[in-house]
Amino acid sequence: MAYRTVGRQATHWALLLGSAFFTAAAPAARVDQSTVQTPSVAPPALMLAKHWRAGLDPLGFLVSEKLDGVRAFWDGHTLRFRSGRRIAAPDWFTAALPDTPLDGELWLGRRRFDRLSGIVRRSVPVDAEWHELSYMIFDLPGGRGSFGERAARVVSLVDSVDVPWLKAVPQSRVPDRESLQLELLQIVGEGAEGLVLHRADADWKPGRSDALRKLKVIPDEDARVVAYQPGKGRHAGRLGALVLEMPNGQRFALGTGLTDAQRATPPRLGAFVTYRYRERTPTGLPRFASFLRVREAE
């Protein structure tokens, strides 16, 4: 069996793991990279958030809820995932959208990401399901002026379109760090993911930006599955940990948070998974990391 592994004992997996694990995990190990779906077009140029840093002053930022949705870019003609792949939305949903590029999130409500993900990834959309969604707009890609000015134009644009599924993400200000923490705790307690902070005076600029920040009680990140580690003790004969590769190339093992079913049939090699963590080591690796979910390809 052609398993990719880490460490000197990699070649002894057949002895360490029972046949049950190999039977269950075989589909994941035999992923043909030629079948992995890739975007037919280049990913759109979007602004991407960095984590909020202690010591930053929130006074110059506009603050909004971090929606647990699916990022959706409207280029004026087609609705696309962040990867650039087309989203199969109903014609009535996109026909009402303006010819102005929009950046936002398809959203079903708090703590409903899994159902949302299933809806927007269907190759044939179901009208009744899409009537439940909102397209929450937070920016105008490539738009002129400061973010504060663009946010005001978003509100005007949404009002002029006047359809119930197109909405502007509400923006507000907080006066100081203490107020920011109180708002974070309140909104998380109500079921939200966290907050997004965008410098009100910032011009639009694609890529990871100091002007755009996300703040959560427990941060999370995505990483790619590159290998498996065998289980020990009660996990003998099945997956012990996923070996994940971060965007900067660093790797670490993640075993906490996986269910027995996920250990029996782990995420495929090459899949992206989301994990939570509390802090980072001096070398940049996550501490106290815990598996959250598989991130479906977009």
158, containing H or E segment: helix 147-161
* 47-215 shares the fold of 8-30+219-295: no
CATH code of the domain made up of 8-30+219-295:
2.40.50.140
Taking the C-alpha atoms of residue 288 and residue 162, their distance in angstroms, rounded to an integer, is: 46
CA end-to-end span of the chain, whole Å?
29
Dmax (CA) of the chain: 66
pLDDT of residue 4: 39
What's the full length of the chain, in residues? 298
Q: Residue 33 in 3-state DSSP? A: helix
What's this model's pTM, rounded to 2 decimal places?
0.68
Averaged over 20-25, what is the pLDDT? 34
C-alpha dihedral, 207 to 84 to 170 to 115, nearest 10° = -130
pLDDT of residue 281: 85
| Torsion angles phi and psi, residue 287, rounded to 5 | -105, 145
Domain coordinates in residue numbering, the chain: 8-30+219-295, 47-215
Assess contact for 122 and 88: CB atoms under 8 A: yes
Q: Residue 68 in 3-state DSSP? A: coil
For 106-123, what is each residue's pLDDT tens digit?
999 998 988 999 999 999
For 162-185, what is each residue's pLDDT tens digit?
999 999 999 999 999 999 999 999
CATH architecture of 47-215: 2-Layer Sandwich (3.30)
Q: For 200-289, where are the E strands, in sequence order?
A: 207-215, 220-230, 239-245, 251-254, 272-276, 279-280, 286-287
Distance from CA of residue 1 to its chain's centroid? 32
Residue 16 pLDDT exceeds 60: no
Taking the C-alpha atoms of residue 161 and residue 43, their distance in angstroms, rounded to an integer, is: 27
For 23-47, what is each residue's pLDDT tens digit?
333 333 333 333 334 445 788 999 9
| Torsion angles phi and psi, residue 260, rounded to 5 | -60, -40
Assess contact for 167 and 136: CB atoms under 8 A: yes
